[in-house]
């Protein structure tokens, strides 16, 4: 390889490998998206361009009850997940940041546990929890929302804490020095400075909720608690139509839109460096 | 006039480490008071305790006669200029300056007027709408100053406010800050590790080392009459020689340095036994080798450094110690060769020789004084003495 002998040469081989990988990763996705616009019922043979699987009379995302309900339920879960996980995660991050006493270190590592626990383990554990210990909650939308909050919370805490560490204590001290009581230190200084991280973590929690399959599947009850990912999975081997491609495309669009928006907001307010570290968190 | 600070046996321990070890200082109203010392000497911790960011382990902080040691920072009538300025990045300059006015009962017009005045005071009126990161370091520093001064505090605390600026800007801001303080007449407590900055700006300086105040006095006194080896060493260039004080002769202390006896008229002339003798390089007179009488120490030039306005000559004297002497570059002929290897004679005039107790002795002395006075903190660990350096 020439770049081993000539350190000034362009690393052509590396560029080639990278290019092949990117193609390999993106082509299946692009194919799936393309067939969402197929005019026929086939998911493998191109029969012309149409929006029928998005807006058509039968079997479309808009008019097929199963598809539409799944999309609605998915978005509902995502909104609930963000609404609970973000405020709770911000409060936890603030608390952990201030708590410097004994035990803070272990709680810190515990917060990361959901990030490394295999999701299937978490799913089974939560299933048992709702069946045996909290039967009053039972399975269904509530359980699904709680389950999703349980692990998306960790992402919120990690992102917000990262920002807190980079902000440092001195802005709060400056606010206190100028006469602001603790409540104003939070509302007038800390929260505005945390805003980019809060937006970013909300987007990440939203995207995680949209994408989640394992936990959501385990904690579902009847057809009304089916999400897009569950629908895709259960119909994959049945009688799939390009309608599934269409709903997957809609889900992907939501995910990409939220992450892009969050990325832009974060970069605008917090500088490019931290935005890239956020990008590595995207799953 | 309000703005008086008295620290009484102020102590701060971080775990086992004693950052501030029972210091007592009086800062009268309207004084430009500087806490000077190397990093880790406790000067910033002291300032942070006055501001309220750290809670003292023991001791009192009297602000105009009442103890504020347990008052949270937002209720203290002192304001701080931070080393990094800590300007709120999400607010523009005017809103930064107006931040603290919310907690003063002022109507809108009065508030705007105060902000305008404060910006005018620091010559930043036309920058009111800028964000903090659109300003240069010097401008940010002024905004930080305006943000604190707009509240009309009795005491302004400054934590190395010039530390992040380049040398030229530092010099001009030193002069401006000093003028501003004189104009406002409020107490400034200024923290720095830069001795030159401390000497040029302060009314009084407290030199700190390892959590204790070594000496608190006017700049002139600190420089001319250092009381401890640490102070002598930290401010300016000093020669410190190990010596033995052997007696008292007509207002002077006779000391033996090597096999010669010198007379010292300055410092602790009543001391006996092991002492340090200090002399500033500019007070040493270099004479030809043939001069051998009293007050003289023969030596060999090791190095001669041209400094523009003067030469700094390093002379290895009999007995092995290295002394620095400066020779003014004033156009007059120097009667001796200053080339390396040249033999010279150094004259150490009695008026320029100062007797200092070695630090161990001083520290033990201080500790004994402490023990007799403090009842509050009996389990303070013993203070270790500053390193006993010989230049």
* Residue-range domain boundaries for chain A: 66-279
B216 and B242 inside one domain: no
pLDDT tier at A98 (50, 70, 90 boundaries)? confident
pLDDT tier at B389 (50, 70, 90 boundaries)? very low
* B368 inside domain: no
pLDDT tier at A43 (50, 70, 90 boundaries)? confident
* B286 inside domain: yes
Q: Is A195 a residue whose pLDDT tops 80?
A: yes
Using a CB cutoff of 8 Å and minimum separation of 24, what contacts does B124-129 make? B124/B93, B127/B93, B128/B92, B128/B93, B128/B94, B129/B92, B129/B93, B129/B94
B299 and B341 inside one domain: yes
Quote the pLDDT of residue A3. 59
Quote the pLDDT of residue B217. 93
B71 and B160 inside one domain: yes
Contact A177 B73 (CB under 8 A): yes
pLDDT tier at B57 (50, 70, 90 boundaries)? very high
pLDDT tier at A274 (50, 70, 90 boundaries)? very low
Q: Is B56 a residue whose pLDDT tops 90?
A: yes
Considering A26-35, A75-84, B303-312, B370-379, the range whose residues carry the highest mean pLDDT is A75-84
* B164 inside domain: yes
Task: Round to whole Å and give the CA distance between B18 and B11.
Answer: 8
- Residue A67 near residue A61, CB atoms below 8 Å: yes
Higher pLDDT, B178 or B271: B178
User: Which residue is closest to B97 within chain A, CA to CA?
Assistant: A178
Q: Is B384 a residue whose pLDDT tops 50?
A: no
B169 exposure class (CB count in 10 Å sphere: 0-12, 13-18, 19+):
middle
Q: For residue B131, what is the domain's CATH number? A: 3.40.50.300
B39 and B95 inside one domain: yes
Average pLDDT of the segment spanning B51-57: 93
B172 and B201 inside one domain: yes
- Residue B304 near residue B314, CB atoms below 8 Å: yes
- How many domains does one find in chain B? 2
Express each pLDDT in B336-369 by its tens digit: 888 888 899 999 998 889 998 766 544 444 444 4
Give the range among B18-22, B115-119, B375-379 with minimum mean pLDDT. B375-379
Contact A170 B86 (CB under 8 A): yes
Quote the pLDDT of residue A153. 92
Contact A174 B52 (CB under 8 A): no
* B168 inside domain: yes
Which is it for strands B273-279 and B204-209: parallel, antiparallel or unpaired? unpaired
**Closest CB to A181 among B74, B89, B147:** B74
B61 and B122 inside one domain: yes
Q: For residue B282, what is the domain's CATH number? A: 2.40.50.140
**Closest CB to A173 among B53, B87, B102:** B53
Express each pLDDT in A103-120 by its tens digit: 777 777 888 888 888 889
Quote the pLDDT of residue A172. 92
Quote the pLDDT of residue B250. 77
**Closest CB to B86 among A174, A181, A185:** A174
Quote the pLDDT of residue A63. 82
Hey, what CATH class is A66-279 in? mainly alpha
Q: Is B173 a residue whose pLDDT tops 90?
A: no
* B376 inside domain: no
* Among the listed residues B190, B189, B355, B184, the one whose alpha carbon sits nearest the alpha carbon of residue B279: B355
User: Which residue is closest to A181 within chain B, CA to CA?
Assistant: B74
Interchain CB contact of A120 with B (< 8 Å): no
* Among the listed residues A100, A232, A163, the one whose alpha carbon sits nearest the alpha carbon of residue B90: A163
- Which of residues B174, B202, B224 is at a domain's end? B224
B143 and B14 inside one domain: yes
Domain of residue B341: give its range: 236-356
Q: Is B96 a residue whose pLDDT tops 50?
A: yes
Residues in B closer than 8 angstroms to A173, CB to CB, are: 51, 53, 73, 80, 82, 86
Q: What secondary structure does DSSP assign to A6-20, as a single string?
A: -TTS--HHHHHHHHH
B189 and B270 inside one domain: no
* B385 inside domain: no
Q: Is A220 a residue whose pLDDT tops 90?
A: no
Tell me how close the Cα of B30 comes to any Cα of chain A, in angstroms.
20
């Amino acid at each position: 390889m020439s770049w081993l002998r000539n350190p000034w040469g362009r690393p052509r081989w590396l560029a080639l490998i990278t290019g092949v990988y990117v193609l390999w990763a993106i082509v299946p996705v692009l194919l799936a998206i393309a067939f969402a616009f197929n005019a026929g019922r086939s998911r493998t043979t191109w029969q012309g361009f149409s929006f029928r699987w998005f807006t058509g009379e039968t079997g479309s995302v808009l008019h097929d009850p199963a598809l539409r309900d799944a999309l609605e339920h998915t978005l509902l879960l995502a909104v609930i997940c963000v609404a609970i996980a973000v405020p709770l995660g911000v409060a936890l991050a603030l608390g952990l940041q201030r708590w410097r006493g004994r035990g803070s270190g272990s709680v810190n590592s515990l917060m990361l546990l959901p990030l490394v626990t295999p999701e299937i383990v978490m799913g089974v554990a939560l299933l048992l929890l709702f069946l045996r210990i909290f039967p009053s909650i039972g399975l269904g939308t509530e359980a699904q929302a709680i389950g999703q909050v349980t692990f998306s919370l960790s992402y919120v805490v990690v992102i917000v804490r990262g920002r807190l560490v980079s902000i440092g204590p001195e802005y709060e001290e400056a606010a206190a020095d100028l006469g602001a009581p603790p409540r104003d230190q939070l509302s007038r200084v800390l929260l505005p400075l945390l805003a980019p991280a809060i937006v970013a973590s909300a987007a990440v929690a939203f995207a995680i909720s949209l994408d989640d399959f394992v936990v959501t599947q385990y904690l579902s009850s009847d057809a009304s608690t089916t999400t897009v990912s569950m629908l895709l999975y259960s119909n994959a081997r049945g009688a799939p139509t390009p309608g599934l491609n269409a709903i997957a495309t809609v889900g992907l669009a939501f995910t990409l839109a939220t992450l892009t928006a969050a990325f832009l907001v974060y970069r605008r307010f917090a500088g490019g460096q931290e935005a890239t570290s956020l990008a590595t968190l995207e799953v | 006039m309000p703005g008086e600070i008295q620290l009484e046996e102020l102590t701060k321990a971080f775990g086992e480490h004693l950052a501030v070890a029972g210091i007592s200082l009086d800062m009268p109203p309207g004084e430009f008071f500087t806490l000077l010392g190397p990093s880790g000497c406790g000067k910033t911790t002291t300032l942070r305790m006055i501001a309220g960011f750290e809670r003292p382990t023991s001791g009192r902080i009297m602000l105009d006669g009442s103890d504020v040691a347990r008052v949270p920072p937002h209720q203290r009538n002192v304001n701080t200029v931070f080393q990094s300025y800590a300007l709120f990045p999400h607010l523009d300059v005017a809103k930064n300056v107006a931040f603290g006015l919310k907690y003063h009962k002022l109507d809108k017009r009065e508030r705007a007027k105060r902000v305008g005045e404060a910006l005018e005071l620091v010559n930043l009126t036309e920058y009111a709408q800028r964000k903090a990161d659109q300003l240069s370091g010097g401008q940010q520093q002024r905004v930080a100053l305006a943000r604190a001064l707009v509240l009309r505090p009795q005491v302004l605390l400054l934590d190395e406010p010039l530390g992040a600026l380049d040398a030229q800007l530092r010099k001009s801001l030193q002069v401006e800050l000093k003028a501003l303080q004189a104009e406002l007449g409020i107490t400034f407590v200024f923290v720095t590790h830069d001795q030159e900055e401390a000497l040029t700006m302060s009314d009084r300086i407290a030199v700190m080392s390892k959590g204790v105040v070594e000496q608190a006095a006017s700049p002139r006194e600190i420089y001319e009459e250092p009381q401890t080896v640490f102070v002598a060493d930290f401010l300016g260039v000093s020669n410190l020689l190990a010596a033995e004080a052997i007696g008292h002769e007509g207002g002077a202390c006779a000391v033996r340095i090597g096999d010669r006896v010198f007379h010292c008229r300055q410092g602790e002339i009543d001391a006996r036994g092991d002492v340090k003798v200090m002399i500033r390089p500019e007070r040493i007179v270099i004479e030809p080798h043939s001069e051998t009488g009293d007050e003289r120490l023969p030596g060999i030039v090791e190095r001669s450094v041209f400094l523009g306005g003067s030469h700094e000559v390093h002379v290895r004297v009999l007995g092995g110690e290295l002394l620095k002497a400066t020779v003014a570059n004033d156009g007059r002929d120097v009667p001796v060769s200053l080339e390396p290897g040249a033999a010279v004679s150094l004259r150490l005039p009695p008026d320029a020789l100062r007797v200092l107790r070695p630090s161990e002795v001083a520290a033990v002395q201080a500790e004994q004084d402490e023990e007799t006075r403090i009842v509050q903190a009996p389990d303070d660990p013993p203070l270790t003495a500053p390193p006993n350096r010989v230049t």
